[in-house]
Amino acid sequence: MAYAVVFGCIVVLGLPLNAASLWILIQRHRLKSPSAVFMINLALADLLLVLSLPMRVYYYATGTWSLGVIACVGISSLFSNNIRASAIFITFIGVDRLLAVVFPLRSRHLRNTTNSWKACGLVWISLVALSIPESVGISRLMQDCNLTTCFHPERFPCVKKQIPPSLKYVHSCSMLTLLAVNCIATSMVSWKLRSHLSDSVQVNKMNVMLIFATNLLMFFIFFLPVSLVLSVEKWRNAVEPALCLACINCCFDPLLYYFSLDSFWNKKEDDEPNQNPQPVMIR
């Protein structure tokens, strides 16, 4: 019942926050910069994650699942894919800021909306492709074990013995890789801002470092626990609490990320690359 309360609170808080964030980003920024594209996709991933939670609230509140294996696997796939998507798009935003600060001139041809949409499209396609074998494998295991529960088949011995290692560790490896990328990006930007920032780039240092500090906090607080409990066999009983923590991230993205940035409310994005070399303001 405690999980039902937690997931219910996430739905109540996260649904309006992410819907409002998505609307503001689309209406005010209108896809005019790479940052806006990544933020819109992040807000969309968080919104889809929230929309997958009402069935979890129902399951944990009643203790029963009567919608069948296909519905369980489909909702589980939507849930896990959008946790991964959130982590990926948070990383993309950090990498975009890294290119803008550390390689402002050499990255101009890369930092455009076309390439940003291509990268986002590749992410969504890859996540769907990854979810297909996972969904097929888990549905077969649930049918073979005659499970009548949902969302935590890893608890059952007959499932533990049959889950391929590639499926058990893919989430952990991907999250740890993204965390490493964020740590490297933060170090490079911090080093650049301290002593090697080019005069051709004007930077609001506080906002730039706020982005990277927020990204690292997101990973260490919300995403890293899930990676650890999935990697260590004796911690598998802590999967549900770790997933609850990962879901809470979708409520903090609008509060700690979007609304902490001045550019969130500005209609014009100043960091959009253009053809004429001139100082670039990184917000």
Residue 141 maps to a domain: yes
Candidate ranges 194-203, 210-219, 274-283; pick with highest mean pLDDT:
210-219
Q: What is the pTM of this model?
A: 0.83
Please check whether residue 119 is in contact with residue 92, taking contact to mean a CB–CB distance below 8 angstroms: yes
Residue 278 maps to a domain: no
Task: Give residue-wise pLDDT tens across range 14-26.
Answer: 999 899 888 888 8
Residue 201 maps to a domain: yes
The count of other CB atoms within 10 Å of the CB of residue 277 is 10
Cα–Cα distance for residue pair 142/134, rounded to 1 Å: 12
Residue 174 maps to a domain: yes
Residue 83 maps to a domain: yes
Please check whether residue 86 is in contact with residue 42, taking contact to mean a CB–CB distance below 8 angstroms: yes
Does the pLDDT of residue 45 top 90, yes or no? yes
The count of other CB atoms within 10 Å of the CB of residue 46 is 29
| Average pLDDT value for the chain | 77
What pLDDT is stored for residue 120 in this prediction? 95
Residue 274 maps to a domain: no
CATH code of 54's domain: 1.20.1070.10
Residue 249 corresponds to which tokens in the numbers above? 């991230």
Please check whether residue 130 is in contact with residue 46, taking contact to mean a CB–CB distance below 8 angstroms: no
Three-state DSSP at 110 gives: coil
Q: Which residue has the tokens 């769907």?
A: 128
Which amino acid makes up residue 103?
F
What pLDDT is stored for residue 256 in this prediction? 56
Residue 200 maps to a domain: yes
Q: Which domain holds residue 214?
A: 2-253
Residue 55 maps to a domain: yes
Cα–Cα distance for residue pair 215/184, rounded to 1 Å: 12
- When divided into structural domains, the chain yields a total of 1
Task: Give residue-wise pLDDT tens across range 226-273.
Answer: 888 777 767 667 778 888 888 898 888 876 555 445 555 454 444 444
Q: Which residue has the tokens 């910069």?
A: 33
The answer to which of 119-123, 174-178, 238-242 has the lowest mean pLDDT is 238-242
